[in-house]
Structure 1
């Protein structure tokens, strides 16, 4: 139940879901309490502007992504653990398992393996079938992509029984400890790395972070923080991309809060 609620309830506090509820409330009170209705509409516009312009969303993303520096290759581990995600299921009309936004995790982990930074890839994660209706686990889909780009099947381990980051860390750690491995290279999206590292450290695993899938580069951050008249409109006109970035960051902050509340990290 927690897994289901953790996927559904946040949509009500994300800007799009919250504004939708606000507009329903505004319509409900438009005749009986018109002043309250106007206040709710103004609140919705403020939320659109704050989350739809780049300052807040990029600050939140940057804060998450700067938690750990990029992997410098100086430390190695037998197992490279790749957090679940980054694939779209093989369903018609797709002709294969496809990469989604977080697919860089698979590509980067495969690259590190080929460079000799580790001996094995451990892919974890299973679809939550109530919401996704998928027949193949995330782990198996990630493995399929890795094999497509040249990773040998005997270099891949699968863990297909976890539904969230905490369960994935617990299940992966059990596999690692049976192997006698207590240090890993951990590959996941830079925004997700803070929570992922904390989950594994809670299980007694030493983590070498290897973040990937960065949303903001140093060049983009510098451009964002410098005044440019040609880009001024991006500071005052809300854009959907900024709202998506805000929701990505908010999901992580909520996840960190809830995981701490439950004693998972």
Structure 2
């Protein structure tokens, strides 16, 4: 079920969705259907538009509020720091930090920073993986290399998505002050899932973007980073839709 969900979700992201649509329309065009040429052209135009920094900024600018960053002045005490998993690139020839993707590194750096601000807090690194390498394992090793005592770090290696992370970690977080570290675009969904498990978390968002700072002459040139961020946003929209559907069918589902 998990693999099927991920495959379907992946195919609904901007790049594969519009590319597949355009391919189908082009096949139809070869059969003499002019409408297929028009639709395929629109599909490719949409893909190029979503890849432009200007339009990427318009899509995400209201979904990355600075208010979701952590403010230490408002929280004199933190008991647990939970860092949610993200992308990994398993390669036994590389050090742990070089096997973490940019998203995972951004989250871990924020978690380590908080761990140093709150020396009595426990650092919990989360996330499953593949090829016998887990996100939590790589974060664990990297956090140690960044100066965090291994006895302060706990791993959650069996969760393959945010819902599982919330469910598996909830029993360890009850009645504690918990800082939740994840990407800003992911924070709303993550917070909702932890709240559903009865855990009131304090947002510590990271992995912000600001395409408005891109030089004007680059604003309308498609690039992979802009498309990646739009894809990340689309993933959250789809994820929230899935949660809302599950909760509509069964309020106790997530």
The bucket for the TM-score relative to the shorter chain is 0.7 to 0.9
State the secondary structure of the residue aligned to 1:77.
coil
Query: What is the Cα deviation at residue 232 of structure 1?
Result: 4.6
Per mean C-alpha deviation after superposition, the further-off stretch among 243-252 and 67-76 is 67-76
Per mean C-alpha deviation after superposition, the further-off stretch among 21-30 and 140-149 is 21-30
2:216 to 231, 235, 250: 231
Task: Write the deviation string for residues 110-156 of structure 1: whole angstroms up to 9, x where unpaired.
Answer: 111111275100112211x4xxxx21221111111101111101101
2-structure distance, mates of 1:89, 1:126: 12
State the secondary structure of the residue aligned to 1:158.
strand
Query: What is the Cα deviation at residue 67 of structure 1?
Result: 7.4
| Unaligned stretches of 5+ residues in structure 1 | 225-229
Q: Which residue pairs with 1:242 in the alignment? A: 226
1:176 aligns with 2:173: yes
Asked whether the 8 Å contact 1:88–1:97 carries over to 2, the reply is no
Task: Report the count of equivalent residues.
Answer: 245
User: How big is the alpha-carbon RMSD for the aligned residues of Structure 1 and Structure 2?
Assistant: 2.2
Query: What is the Cα deviation at residue 244 of structure 1?
Result: 1.6
Q: Which residue pairs with 1:89 in the alignment? A: 90
Q: Which residue pairs with 1:187 in the alignment? A: 181
Task: Write the deviation string for residues 81-101 of structure 1: whole angstroms up to 9, x where unpaired.
Answer: 111125432423x24442311
Q: Which residue pairs with 1:18 in the alignment? A: 17
1-structure distance, mates of 2:44, 2:23: 14
1-structure distance, mates of 2:170, 2:205: 19
1-structure distance, mates of 2:48, 2:6: 25
1-structure distance, mates of 2:169, 2:238: 23
2-structure distance, mates of 1:211, 1:146: 18
State the secondary structure of the residue aligned to 1:20.
helix
State how 1:139-158 maps to structure 2 within 5 Å.
139-158=136-155
Q: Which residue pairs with 1:59 in the alignment? A: 58
Residues 245 and 85 from structure 1, CA distance in 2 versus in 1: closer, same or farther, beyond 3 angstroms?
closer
| Unaligned stretches of 5+ residues in structure 2 | 248-252
Q: Which residue pairs with 1:260 in the alignment? A: 244
TM-score, structure 1 as length reference: 0.83
1-structure distance, mates of 2:157, 2:150: 16
2:110 to 108, 111, 117: 108
